[in-house]
Structure 1
Amino acid sequence: MLSTYTSYKLITRDLDRSLTLKASERQVALESDYYLENIGKVETIDDFLDDTRLFKFAMKAFGLEEMSYAKAYMRKVLTEGISADDAFVKRLSDDRFTQFATMFNFEGKGSSAVEGSAVRQGVVDRYVRQSLEVSAGEENEGVRLALYFQRSAASVTSAYGILADEAIQEVVFTALGFPDEMKAANIDRQAAAIEARLDIASLQDPKEVEKLLTRFTALWDAASSTNTSPLLMLFETSSAPSVGLDLVMSLQNLKRGGY
């Protein structure tokens, strides 16, 4: 079985090709075509919500597929929009809803909310990327988390931003070696612990993000191995290729060291 890092790199080494292959898959292509053919017919929030296939496509594009059934909830998100200081989305901790309401800005743009390339091909591109991540997660949830983090890390501007997104939090907590019990601590203590170990500004640098993901994927695989030390597993299968001491030491240092 491929390691989490190897699987992640196979996808991201030529990300454009990976996305093109995903977009060409029959089901993805069919849903994308339906969206592009029908989104222009939408003039109101009711039009949008009433076309379940169209609405579910848009929700999946923003990683909200599990909320597709909650049309009353999403009606409130779209109706109140993003303009008012007390708008519903501004009281939610999950930024995906703000992104969704910003893209489908019926409150601000009315019937012209679905015009323009961003709300058409841009949403399709999001759907394809989301589909790629979901399919990767079916094989290895760590790969899905790594892909999501690579895509989303630059949007994080504070430790609280990390804590507001469960997937990003999982990557950071794993990479920093925080125990699961940390998630039950006071949120301010969690934020302080993150700030003490991680330069939040480094998430704007793709090279630093890759370093963090290298650590995350190694520790994810180590934690996923049950009853056996990840280092001992390197030597237990006699038919496996030999592993140099330098690699073993690198893995050990990676597990012990800070980011």
Structure 2
Amino acid sequence: MSYTPAIPLGGYAGWALLTRTRSAQMEAFVSSPTLQRDEAYFRDRIGGISTAEDLVADRRLLSVALGAFGLEADIDSKYFIRKVLEDGTLDPDALANKLADKRYLEFSKAFGFGDYATPRTKLSDFPDAILEGYKTRSFEAAVGEQSDEMRLALNAQRELAALAGRSLTDDAGWFSVMGSAPLREVFQTALGLPPAFAAIDLDQQLATFRDRAESVLGSSEISMFGDPGKIDELIRVFLVRAEAQSNSTVYSAQSTALTLLQSAGARGGLLSRLV
């Protein structure tokens, strides 16, 4: 039986509580029998995997491998995953380099099937690296079953801290945000941008992200997230706006239902007078 994270509150209050209890909850989660069995199986079998074909043929290993990068939804897309892995990352025309979602690039790079004569699965420290990601992402997924906004916030906190530590130009940093569906959702919500915004020209998106970030967060530079306080500020704005949107949707639905009931009541009263 798996441990279910406790998320008793929504919004920023719920995030503050999760932040205080996360270490204890994470420890309980990774100690669950399900996670322990997954870890043991991966450690025992991954060293014998030499090709992408071998990996996709073992659904249990593939589940851990994909889960470490937040790609678990692709578990049944075996041909696609095999192509991503076999192409590698060194060739500019490799599939992973063409995909907007750069999680596939990191996934292919981590395994090295298309980049090296000997894949990284043969390295002694490889299981530790993949399992660390798997445990973290699995906990986030479990949190997401209680609150998708909390999962997005956890992902943003982790990804932005990692992004700030990379040697990237400001443009490249913003494009990394734009190429990550979970991060994009956090930024679009926090910066007050509609879902349709993703359909406009990329250069326009970049300029708009910068302008809105300057207005909402006080800086247009992606390097601002080297300050953990800026990450927390982004998450706070995201959660507050997401909660407001949710409440607005609920209110709108309730208002529509009330209008329909009132309309039905009025018609019923009119019919009774006519009869």
TM-score range, shorter chain: 0.7 to 0.9
The within-5 A match list for 1:142-181 is 142-154=149-161, 155=163, 157-181=172-196
The within-5 A match list for 1:1-259 is 2-13=9-20, 15-116=22-123, 118-154=125-161, 155=163, 157-198=172-213, 199=220, 200-225=222-247, 226-228=249-251
Structure 2 distance, partners of 1:187, 1:106, is: 31
SS of structure 2 residue aligned to 1:160:
helix
**Residue type of the alignment partner of 1:8:** W
CA separation of 1:56 and 1:227: change in aligned 2, threshold 3 A: closer
Structure 2 distance, partners of 1:104, 1:92, is: 17
For the 8 Å contact 1:76–1:88, the answer to whether it is kept is yes
For the 8 Å contact 2:103–2:180, the answer to whether it is kept is no
Structure 2 distance, partners of 1:57, 1:36, is: 11
Gaps spanning 5+ residues in structure 2: where?
Answer: 1-7, 165-171, 214-219, 253-275
Q: Percent identity?
A: 30
**Residue type of the alignment partner of 2:187:** V
CA separation of 1:141 and 1:31: change in aligned 2, threshold 3 A: same
Shift of 1:158: 3.1
**Residue type of the alignment partner of 1:208:** K
CA RMSD of aligned residues (A): 2.1
| TM-score, normalised by the number of residues in structure 1 | 0.80
- Which range moved further: 172-181 or 53-62? 172-181
Shift of 1:137: 1.0
Gaps spanning 5+ residues in structure 1: where?
Answer: 230-259
Structure 2 distance, partners of 1:117, 1:178, is: 45
Q: How many residues align?
A: 229
Deviations 1:182-234 (A, max 9, x none): 334333222211111222221222111011111111111111114549xxxxx
SS of structure 1 residue aligned to 2:123:
coil
**Residue type of the alignment partner of 2:140:** E
For the 8 Å contact 1:44–1:111, the answer to whether it is kept is no
Structure 2 distance, partners of 1:73, 1:129, is: 24
Greater C-alpha Rg: 2
Structure 1 distance, partners of 2:64, 2:179, is: 24
Structure 2 distance, partners of 1:15, 1:119, is: 26
CA separation of 1:110 and 1:23: change in aligned 2, threshold 3 A: farther
Shift of 1:169: 1.1
SS of structure 1 residue aligned to 2:117:
helix
| TM-score, normalised by the number of residues in structure 2 | 0.76
**Residue type of the alignment partner of 2:243:** D
Structure 2 distance, partners of 1:177, 1:202, is: 19
Shift of 1:15: 4.2
**Residue type of the alignment partner of 2:71:** L
